[in-house]
Amino acid sequence: MSVPAPSPLPAHWWGRGVVLVATICAATLGLLLTGHPEGAIWTGLLMRVLALGALALASVRVGGPPGTVFRRLLAAVGTYVAAEVVFVYATPALAVMTGVPTAADVLYLLFYPLLWWALRPLGGGRALPLVPKLNILATTLTIILPLYVLLARQVPGQQQLAWWTGVLYPALDAWILSTLLALLFSRRRLPLLAAPLVAGVVMIVAGDVAYVALSSREAYSPAHPVTVLWTAAMGAFGLSALRALPPTDRPDWNQPAWVPTLVQLGPYASLAVAALTWALISHGESVENGIFVGIMALTALLLIRQELLGVRQRRLTTRLRSTAQALQSSRQDLWRQLHTDDLTGLPNRRACLDRLDSWLAQNPARTDVGVLFLDLDGFKTVNDGYGHAAGDEVLRVTGHRLTGLAAQEPDLLPARLSGDEFALVFLGSPGRGEALAGQIAALIARPITLPDGQTLTTAGSVGQMHSRLLAGVTTSALLSGADHAMYRVKRDRKAQQVPERTPTLFD
């Protein structure tokens, strides 16, 4: 007995979730600003419980790669919440005051590789190219370098381990955020859950950078309003689950045109964040500012190198596009060569057979396809008496006249089969074929002026075969039938028994 699939979550849950998250964040901020940290702890705990519940629901109900994302994200967020519980309830006060790394720091740092592991499926299984990897490296370095300056210049040696732990948070934040953006923006279509995930990671980045800046001035405490950023981040992760749960006919949206440009500007945005971080923690000290300028100059060189690599990649892309266009043009030229007669410019035997096959396939009854077979009378005499150049001119003029006829008649394809033999395939009744045969005879009878000024008058024999006259209609049967009909016309003409109409094989 099969187990029925769980019913989808109603679509209005997403809007209600947004309102709920905004309300809890506002309440938490209000409690912190009014000096009620105990209430803020409870509202923050409520947010985390709701986020974990939404992620657990999505990990069960959402399938495919998004389901994998939510199962892994549940583990990552669960680790983060466990770290907060350890920090609040199991970390000694002395360790908090002195900044000594604790078990909570181990769990906090474990959150980042788990989050990276959770976000990987968003890339669609494709490895990141070199330029996005350089963007990630540049973004991470521009966050960590100014903090390293502060570590080297202001922190006593016995506390540097704790500061290294603190510096790791914004560095890992930058790495995760850059990786997430690179994974998402390497796709042409973005999943709907992307926006809440990006918002959650951005709020964690902002909270950690503010934590380091405040700690450098000994101004941070667990009751500081900045902690609402981490609460909002948990809510955003929960909203990403709600975004994926409701049924929708549009599981993703097209990537906006400005996204690639925004991604290219990512490292420069991180450079601005690094400069702002330094402004918050340096207090205008000239020596440290000088060191910062030097480090930012090195970082700028890295970014310039990355941009040069991007320029080279864009040039390579342009060259590849030009090569693809050249290949397409070559393919079209090859097709024309395979399907066109060089002398007359008419379609050749291959093109004639392809057109017949196509028309017969499109017409299941096969009752409206006909073939006219044309052979120039006395063409060998022209070659022998006037030369092969004159013979070629006769063939070119004949081809030009047949092309002009096809331009005036719909569903008509003239072709040169070989030598002085031509064919015209058409759609219509046998009566139309007889009318076309008369027009062809009139065209062929018109005088031809050779390049040396001489004038020739030619004639031709035309035979018709139509699909209505055959029991088993095939391309070869139509063509051979028209060929036989043409030879009957030629034979009767030699015997001066020209029929009143164009005969067929079955006359």
CA 37/CA 31 separation, integer angstroms: 6
Q: What is the pLDDT of residues 113-154, one digit of tens each?
A: 888 888 878 766 666 666 666 666 666 666 666 656 555 555
pTM of the model: 0.50
**By three-state DSSP, how is residue 235 classified?**
helix
Average pLDDT, stretch 232-252? 75
What band does 424 get if pLDDT is binned at 50, 70 and 90? very high
Q: Going by C-beta distance under 8 Å and a sequence separation of 6 or more, which residues neighbour residue 66?
A: 58, 121, 191, 193, 244
Interhelix angle 228-244/194-216, rounded to 10 degrees, is 170
Q: How many CA atoms lie within 13 A of 290 on its CB side?
A: 3
Band of residue 168 on the pLDDT scale cut at 50, 70, 90: confident
Beta 448-449 vs 459-466: how paired, if at all? unpaired
- Does the domain made of 349-494 have the CATH classification 3.40.720.10? no
The residue-averaged pLDDT of 371-399 equals: 86
CA distance 70 to 9: 16
Q: How many Å apart are CA 493 and CA 164, to the nearest integer?
A: 105
Separation of alpha carbons 204 and 49, rounded Å: 18
For 466, other C-beta atoms within 10 Å of its C-beta total 27
Answer for the pair 33, 219: CB distance below 8 angstroms, yes or no: no
Q: Assign 415 to helix, strand or coil.
A: strand
Long-range Cβ contact pairs of 288-293 (< 8 A, separation 24 or more): 288/149, 288/150, 288/153, 288/154, 291/149, 291/153, 292/146, 292/149
Distance (Å, whole) CA 349 – CA 417: 5
The answer to whether the CB of 295 falls within 8 A of the CB of 303 is no
Task: Report pLDDT digits (tens) over 336-357.
Answer: 778 888 888 889 888 888 888 8
Give the number of other CB atoms < 10 A from CB of residue 160: 13
Q: Decide which of 295 and 111 is more confident.
A: 111
Share of the chain above pLDDT 70, in %: 67
Instruction: Report pLDDT digits (tens) over 425-460.
Output: 998 888 898 999 889 888 888 888 888 878 888 888
Are 131 and 308 spatial neighbours (Cβ–Cβ below 8 Å)? no
DSSP state of 377: E
Q: Where are the beta strands (DSSP E) in 230-377?
A: 252-254, 369-377
- Per-residue pLDDT reduced to its tens digit, 267-280: 566 566 656 655 65
If pLDDT is split at 50, 70 and 90, which confidence band does 415 have? very high
> Which of 30-34, 172-176, 293-297, 418-422 has the weakest average pLDDT?
293-297
DSSP state of 3: P
- The distance between the two most distant Cα atoms of the chain, rounded to a whole number of Å, is 124
CA-wise closest residue to 244 among 59, 118, 72, 78: 59
Q: Note whether 161 and 144 are within 8 A (CB).
A: no
* Distance in angstroms between the alpha carbons of the first and the last residue of the chain: 72
Sequence-separated (6 or more) residues with CB below 8 Å from residue 307: none
Handedness of CA 319, 128, 180, 174 (dihedral sign): negative
Which pLDDT score is estimated for 249?
A: 45
**Residue pair 479/423 in contact by the 8 Å Cβ criterion:** yes
55 SS3 class: helix
Residue extents of the structural domains in the chain: 12-246+253-322, 349-494
Nearest residue to 267 (alpha-carbon basis) of 136, 148, 171, 130: 136
Arithmetic mean of pLDDT, 190-219: 77
